[in-house]
Amino acid sequence: MIPVPDRSTIAQVLAFPRVSPGRTIWLERHRTVLLIGHLTGPHADGPCRIRKVSRYGMMLECAMALSSSDWLRVDLRNGQSVSGRIRWRVRQRVGLALNYPLDDVEQWLATVTHDGRDGDGFRPRAPRFGCSCPADLFVGDQRIDAALHNVSQGGAGLSTTIDLPPGTAVRLSLPGLSAPLAAHICWCRDHDLGVAFNTPLGFDTLAAWLDDPALRYARA
């Protein structure tokens, strides 16, 4: 069972205690943020929100069932990753003690929120999550059988029985979702294609869908 922390324990994860020669404990300041990451571990493979960051730890939000012994990895939209071990959990909030401290929190935040607009060729994207389930793709009134291979808040990767030109307006219907998702084709090659959602999929909707294996790994 994951221990329920008191306020001092929460502070210690975000501000991992360091002991000076005089045995004085100094607490590191933390930054309040809102970042989306891909959380993986022995019992985790889904999205998380990063709410607080310090040199030594993070406060995360996720709906997945986790164990106090879990080592976790968080992958971010710019390709960077951090890893650590769970120190506490309260409902959907998790305290993660990092394996290695961040050298400079401000610089790290500037890097992970980089939007690629300075012409360096890098294009960050929302974390993608692998899946394997049937899907229906609609072009107007035409229904096309498809298989879903990955999904993010911003779009999805599929394979279909036909090729569709980029820019085609489509609707994507997934098992367990109440309504099709309006989207458009971004690319298509040999019956594999990528779609971008017209409106980003809500974090809670995506997290709940990914956390249900009967939906995420459904079979036709």
CA distances for 22 relative to 8, 9, 16, 17, 18, angstroms: 21, 22, 17, 14, 11
Residues of the chain with CATH 2.40.10.220: 129-216
pLDDT tens-digit profile of 41-64? 998 999 999 999 999 999 999 989
Q: In this predicted structure, what is the pLDDT of residue 37?
A: 95
Kindly tell me the burial class for residue 99, based on how many C-beta atoms sit within 10 Å of its own C-beta (0-12, 13-18, 19 or more).
exposed
pLDDT tens-digit profile of 110-166? 877 655 555 555 566 789 999 999 999 999 999 999 999 999 999 999 999 999 999
- Specify whether the backbone of 214 is left (phi greater than 0), alpha (psi in -120 to 50) or beta: alpha
The fold for domain 129-216 equals Thrombin, subunit H (2.40.10)
The fold for domain 7-112 equals Thrombin, subunit H (2.40.10)
DSSP conformational letter for 150:
E
